[in-house]
Chain A
Amino acid sequence: MCGRHQAIPWILSCFLLASQVQPLRAEEHGEEDRLKRLEERLARLESNLERLIDVLVSKSEGESSPEARSQLRSLSQDVQTIRAEVKIEATETQEQVAVAALEPPAVDPQPDSPADEIINVPYSGYMEMHINHDQINPTTLDFHRFVLLFGHGFGERIRFWSELELEHAFVEGGKASGELELEQAYLDFLIDPKFNFRAGMVLTPIGIINERHEPPAFHGVERPFVDTVIIPSTWFGAGAGLVGDLGNGLHYKTYVMGSLDSSFFSAEEGFRDGRQKGFLENGRNLAWTSRLEYRPRSGLNLGTSFWTGETGFSFRDLNGRLKMFEFDGRYRVGRFEGRGQFVTTHLGDAAEINQAIRRQVGINPNIAREMRGFYLEGASSLVPSTFPHDLVGFYRYESFDTQYRMPQGFFPLEQFDRAAHVLGLTYFPHPDIALKVDYNVMGNASDLIKSLNRWNFGIGWWF
């Protein structure tokens, strides 16, 4: 119940405050001056808030009116905005200075935003360019990935997220060229931390790299071979499912999504060409995939995933159920970090699929019944933690065999039982920019076909 005598000090106080909550402009003064002025403005705001509260407390006989609450909330938001800007300025100009500005506390739960409120999520993206040089082939310069991510919020409960990727910089119909891919485009219906619904184009939640492939997020110019040949990352498709945080560091995802098409499997590339990528996916068979991650403490991540689906839908009377099981771990302590991953697969009706493809194209694809791969990686920062940039040295050993177990009547091609030693450096001039170099010593089990060692150079960034 705001009477006139209560309204006057209110209006005066609000005017006093509002007169100081002006949009911050980019000005021509030096950063220090700007920071100083912002802090002075903040001090004035705090002082005025204090006075306002004194007025309120002295005048109010009961609870303040809804209008008063609303105006105070608005004012407190303004204070936070200015404080955040002061903080951002400090972060940008004083990289070595601890930014420990304390935020005003939250005190009164606000109701959920109205259903029609729009929350704009800014765009982001990542890019990477590679130079690859081996012992025989011409050196290649490849702008490998140009990826843009866009999001949008339909209120607090429904969110959209997408990832559009241009690979190899150039796309032309009918010719060998790059690819334009819609890797993600889904809606999240946020119901409860433990239980949320997702539908659209989704990433298959398997392994480390398929969902964490921003260039500064992994070492090595190219993604690990296991995450390319055995797990065909980037692996995505149309689907729907549940995601959630079960508490105590447990997170899960479980989707039903489009399956792989075994008519495109191969001895060398495994399942890679069997991805349907959301393009008129054959819905006769759907796959089921799930991932469980456990983070008992900061720096330690353990994960396990599976994928199962029938892949023989291009052939009559063939199921070709593919089962993939994977587990992985990542650990970071101080300047050291390590990660490892193991994946194994089993394809049903492998002999029949080989025969069916041979009848269609005249060549035996020699697809294995089982494929298997693993890698272990160790890395260490090579500069003091106080150094503004970071330089990391790493070594990764990989073993990946796309002919691990063959169906009866088929023999393995030993050149596809492969191993790699990857040794390299990653330099971070900024946490989101990675300059990379590595040398790959490649080997295989064949006595006749020699693998090619290679140098890779790359630059990648995220924003």
Chain B
Amino acid sequence: MRFKRAALVAILLSVAVVGGSPSELAGTPAEKKKIKIVAERFSFTPSTIKVAQGTLLELELSSDDTFHGFRLPKANINVTIPARRRDSIKVLFDARKPGKYPFECSRPCGAGHTMMRGVIIVE
């Protein structure tokens, strides 16, 4: 139920921000792709994710050690990834426009925190 509600908001927000028309709303649904990302001091695995334009990307974020952050600044996403043994969190990313979308750990996690980064490439 929560998923459906969030997905509805997601689609609505998408249309709102890009100024889409009702016909676009009624267009073919985006291809959905699920990717699991594991955070660990001081890397994301995988750290490079390539998707085709128009993909609705569902990222399942989990940690192999401490709490981490997942910040995708170009999309105003910033969430906390629960520590190991504390399940995961999901993030939706609507890959509508080609480009590189860097993400990074936003919760200090140790000596190498600043280079704990990755990128979503929309082709």
Contacts and interface: CB of A to CB of B under 8 A. Distances in A.
A407 interface: no
B83 interface: yes
A197 to B, nearest CB: 12
Interface residues of A, number: 83
A122 interface: yes
Interface stretch (A22-30, A91-99, A262-270, A320-328): A91-99
A112 B100 CA distance: 11
A136 interface: no
A301 B97 CA distance: 33
Secondary structure dominating the interface of A? mixed
Contact of A72 (B16, B89, B109, B118): B16
A203 B17 CA distance: 43
B65 A431 contact: yes
B66 A431 contact: yes
Interface in B1-44: 2-3, 5-22, 25, 36, 38, 40-43
A121 B19 contact: no
B115 A108 contact: no
Contacts, number: 228
B56 to A, nearest CB: 7
A101 B66 contact: no
Main secondary structure of the interface of B (DSSP, over half): mixed
A445 B115 CA distance: 43
Interface of B: 2-3, 5-22, 25, 36, 38, 40-43, 45-48, 56-58, 64-67, 72-80, 82-94, 96-97, 99, 101-102, 107-115, 117-119
9 contacts: A53-B12, A64-B19, A99-B82, A104-B10, A122-B108, A217-B110, A243-B115, A247-B47, A432-B66
Given A103-B90, A109-B101, A110-B74, 11 more contacts: A50-B12, A57-B25, A63-B19, A79-B9, A102-B7, A106-B72, A109-B97, A110-B73, A161-B114, A245-B118, A432-B83
Interface of A: 43, 46, 49-50, 52-53, 56-57, 60, 62-64, 68-69, 72-73, 76-77, 79-80, 84, 87-88, 91, 95, 97-110, 112-113, 121-124, 149, 151, 156, 159, 161, 163, 183-184, 188, 190, 193, 196, 203, 211-214, 216-217, 243, 245, 247-249, 251, 293, 295, 297-299, 301, 332, 385, 388, 390, 431-432, 462
